[in-house]
């Protein structure tokens, strides 16, 4: 109730990206002051995946903590795992602002951030320090993407650089070839282009689990092809799905959508397609391949629906913006 009031009075009137930075500051400060330690313990269903025991199935998707600056604090808020990033080998500022937009009626976001991040070397140093200082951390996934200045034909080497720097401090690696905000990136989802990238990351993974994150906009036959490639290369699994470039079925006015322009849509409107992709993947992948289901999840019932459909873990991001800091605790609580 308090968060809804604060969102209505403060955050809804603030530039979305500034609101995000302010929210991150509040979360970090609450952790430093040990306020998050005052939250009562919750009982969770333990989930085993990647050789780890997770405190619940629900974690934070990539995009919220791009630079591993609030991992411990976010874990204290109840996320069983934090996927940081997307991190690129070369630090980059991302696309020009404004680049993050709220669709209140749809409980959705549109972003064209463009992989703004501090770069793999800086993030690796931050993770090294985090690992050295903290005994109690959530499971940490590291999501890596292509540097914008690197040509598509050199993408495998670019991903290799990131994997080599970040694998020592990751619990798992996620290969992002599905963001719509880096020119040409989604072209790398074709099996021909994707295979050398995944092989390069596997080579540098130090045996850590490697997953590939795919877009909801892929044709079903392309999803099946990626599932087959995942089995062929021995990937740990697939993360499905990223944001969509689609705009169908929205309540927001057409003029507002046109005004916003390009970007990836996340949030409640993705629920149906994300579930469809999950069902398709689970038919193609046996139980040895993990699936992390992401897209449109807001409620505990939706988490359970994804798990019953064959997901091993579930992630969210946009619901955090609209529902508030205790969201993950609600979804992971027994």
Active site residue 179: yes
Residue 175 to residues 36, 79, 178, 196, Cα–Cα distance (Å): 31, 21, 9, 12
Q: How far is CA 252 from CA 12, 107, 160, 249, 256, in A?
A: 16, 10, 41, 9, 7
Give the sign of the dihedral formed by CA 266, CA 270, CA 274, CA 275.
positive
Strands 46-49 and 52-55: antiparallel
Distance of alpha carbon 7 from its chain centroid, rounded? 23
Per annotation, catalytic residue among 31, 80, 124, 179: 179
Going through 106-224 in order, the beta strands assigned E by DSSP cover: 108-111, 139-145, 172-176, 210-214
Range list of β-strands (E), 34-116: 46-49, 52-55, 58-60, 81-88, 100-103, 108-111
The candidate with the shortest Cα–Cα distance to 108, out of 246, 255, 218, is 246
Helix (H, G, I), strand (E, B) or coil at 140: strand
* Residue 318 near residue 60 (C-beta atoms within 8 A): no
Burial call 4-30: b when 16+ CB within 10 Å, e when fewer: eeebeeebeeeebbebbeebbeebeeb
Q: Which residues are catalytic?
A: 179
């Amino acid at each position: 109730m308090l968060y809804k009031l604060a969102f209505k009075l403060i955050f809804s009137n603030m530039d979305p990206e500034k609101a995000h930075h302010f929210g991150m500051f509040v979360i970090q400060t609450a952790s430093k002051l040990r306020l998050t330690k005052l939250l009562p313990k919750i009982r969770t269903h333990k989930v085993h995946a990647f050789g780890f025991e997770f405190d619940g199935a629900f974690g934070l998707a990539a995009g919220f903590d791009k630079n591993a600056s609030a991992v411990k604090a976010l874990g204290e808020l109840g996320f069983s795992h934090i996927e940081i990033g997307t991190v690129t080998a070369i630090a980059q500022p991302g696309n020009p602002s404004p680049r993050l937009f709220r669709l209140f009626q749809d409980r959705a976001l549109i972003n064209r951030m463009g992989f703004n991040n501090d770069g793999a070397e800086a993030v690796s140093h931050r993770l090294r320090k985090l690992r050295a200082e903290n005994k109690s951390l959530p499971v940490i996934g590291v999501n890596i993407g292509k540097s914008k200045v690197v040509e598509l034909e050199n993408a495998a080497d670019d991903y290799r650089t990131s994997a080599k720097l970040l694998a020592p401090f990751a619990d798992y690696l996620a290969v992002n070839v599905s963001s719509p905000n880096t020119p040409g990136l989604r072209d790398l989802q074709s099996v021909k282009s994707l295979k050398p990238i995944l092989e390069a990351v596997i080579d540098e993974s130090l045996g850590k689990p490697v997953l590939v994150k795919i877009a909801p906009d892929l044709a079903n036959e392309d999803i099946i092809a990626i599932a087959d490639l995942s089995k062929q290369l021995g990937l740990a699994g697939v993360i499905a799905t990223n944001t969509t470039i689609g705009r169908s079925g929205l309540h927001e006015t057409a003029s507002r959508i046109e005004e916003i322009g390009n970007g990836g849509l996340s949030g409640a409107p993705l629920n149906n397609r994300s579930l469809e992709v999950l069902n398709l993947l689970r038919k193609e992948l046996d139980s040895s391949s993990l699936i992390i289901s992401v897209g449109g999840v807001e409620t505990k019932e939706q988490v359970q629906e994804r798990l019953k459909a064959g997901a091993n873990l579930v992630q969210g991001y946009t619901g955090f913006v609209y529902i508030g800091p205790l969201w993950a605790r609600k979804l992971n609580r027994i």
